[in-house]
Structure 1
């Protein structure tokens, strides 16, 4: 698992998960409760493991662009 700080109260976790026999890369926001417990939020993305490299390439390509998409 890889943990990346998002802000003071949240972090992004990237981890390998399995669901119904299929492997997924799960990228999910976790938050800290008032009791100090870390909980997953519904904010996230699960991608089949065989598509992870293509997604990473797409993220790198978009990050290198100068402009901003307006949708």
Structure 2
């Protein structure tokens, strides 16, 4: 697994974008990782895995959400 980005969510959680191959299929994960006792991080069930082909459409949607806001 290759860590692409680690983005703080709060004091005990972070978003991680990772890339890996599963059974020959490339995947990109966006997942919440949480701090365990002792300070190490572990992946939670909160997140998604997607094929890299989906990224351009997802990035475009996120950019629209950023400019249009939530109102």
TM-score over 0.5 for the alignment? yes
* Inter-CA distance 6–66: structure 2 relative to 1 (3 Å threshold): closer
Write the distance in 2 (CA, Å) between the matches of 1:42 and 1:67: 25
Dislocated runs of 4+, deviation >6 Å:
none
- Name 2:11's counterpart in structure 1: 8
- Are residues 66 and 39 of structure 1, via their aligned partners in 2, closer, same or farther at CA, if it must alter by over 3 Å? closer
**Which residue among 30, 52, 62 is the counterpart of 1:27?**
30
Task: Give me the CA root mean square deviation.
Answer: 1.2
Q: Which runs of 5+ in 1 are unaligned?
A: none
Aligned mates of 1:67, 1:44 — CA distance in 2: 21
- In structure 1, the partner of 2:67 is 64
In structure 2, what is the Cα distance between the partners aligned to 1:13 and 1:44?
9
For structure 2, which runs of at least 5 residues remain unmatched after alignment? none
Aligned length: 68
Per the normalisation by structure 1, the TM-score is 0.85
Secondary structure at the aligned position of 1:44 is classed as strand
